């Protein structure tokens, strides 16, 4: 059957959970997703088990990387960078979750790629955003749950702070990313221009505390 996003090409430079979850949602809607992985090892969650499937892949990896194609590129090598730029020149969306500045140092930042493809929607996912005192800290779901207040309202009333049973900061950031990308795609249909999306796990965690935060 026809799918809603069948005409879109998405480059997924992300790994572990938040970024891959976002591209999984878009792939489920029909987008073609090419996952860019590190040569030799790939996304580290390929080995995060048990359990493992018969093909050796972890359940963790399989859970959020369905409906995608994978290639490996050495982004530290000029040839790998050139291939990435060529792909980005004809892609609709790019998602990455490196520390701030990492993609730019490889010539693959938004300002590097926008001249090649003004229609590109570029989504960066980090722990604490592109700017500010914590920008260069890596973001881990459990830490974000603690710092963002979720653990203080989870568990028994007289018990210690408790994390949730699934990495909800990562998952909800992935959902926010997918929603933001769809909004940017809608904007592009009228303007012809792409956009840069800056998402932080910490910001997302705070935002969905909702009435509790109030």
**What does the mean pLDDT of the chain come to?**
95
**At residue 2, does pLDDT exceed 80?**
no
Q: How confident is the model at residue 214 (pLDDT cuts 50, 70, 90)?
A: confident
- Per-residue pLDDT at 16: 94
18 in Cβ contact with 170 (< 8 Å): yes
Q: Quick check: helix, strand or coil at residue 159?
A: coil
Say which of 134, 141, 170, 203 is annotated catalytic: 170
Please write the tens of the pLDDT for every residue from 173-205: 999 999 999 999 999 999 999 999 999 999 999
Please write the tens of the pLDDT for every residue from 128-154: 999 999 999 999 999 999 999 999 999
List domains and CATH numbers for the chain: 9-213 (3.40.50.10540)
- Per-residue pLDDT at 56: 86
Please write the tens of the pLDDT for every residue from 84-105: 999 999 999 999 999 999 999 9
Q: Name which residue leads in pLDDT, 214 or 168.
A: 168
- Per-residue pLDDT at 157: 87
**At residue 1, does pLDDT exceed 80?**
no
Other CB atoms within 10 A of residue 151 CB: 18
- 101 conformational bin, left if phi > 0, alpha if psi -120 to 50, beta if neither: left
Please write the tens of the pLDDT for every residue from 24-79: 999 999 999 999 999 999 889 899 889 999 888 899 999 999 999 999 999 999 99
- Per-residue pLDDT at 206: 93
- Per-residue pLDDT at 148: 92
Reported in sequence order, the residue ranges of the chain that DSSP labels E, i.e. its strands, are 9-12, 32-37, 68-72, 93-96, 121-126, 196-200
Q: Annotated catalytic, 170?
A: yes
The average pLDDT across 160-170 equals 93
- Per-residue pLDDT at 12: 98
- Is the model's pTM score more than 0.85? yes
């Amino acid at each position: 059957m026809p799918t809603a996003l069948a005409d879109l090409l998405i480059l997924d430079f992300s790994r572990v959970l938040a970024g891959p979850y976002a591209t999984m949602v878009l792939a489920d809607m029909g987008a073609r997703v090419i996952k860019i992985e590190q040569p030799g090892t790939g996304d580290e969650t390929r080995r995060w088990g048990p359990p493992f499937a018969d093909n050796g892949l972890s359940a963790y990896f399989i859970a959020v990387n369905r409906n995608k194609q994978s290639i490996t590129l050495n982004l530290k090598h000029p040839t790998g960078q050139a291939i990435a730029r060529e792909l980005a020149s004809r892609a609709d969306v790019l998602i990455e979750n490196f520390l701030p500045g990492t993609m730019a140092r490889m010539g693959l930042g938004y300002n590097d790629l926008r001249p090649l493809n003004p229609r590109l929607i570029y989504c960066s996912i980090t722990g604490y955003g592109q700017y500010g005192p914590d920008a260069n800290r890596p973001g881990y779901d459990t830490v974000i749950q603690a710092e963002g207040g979720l653990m203080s309202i989870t568990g028994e009333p007289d018990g210690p702070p408790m994390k949730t049973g699934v990495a909800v900061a990562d998952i909800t950031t992935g959902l926010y990313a997918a929603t933001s990308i769809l909004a940017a795609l809608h904007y592009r249909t009228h303007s012809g221009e792409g956009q840069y999306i800056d998402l932080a796990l910490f910001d997302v965690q705070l935002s969905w505390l909702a009435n509790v935060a109030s």
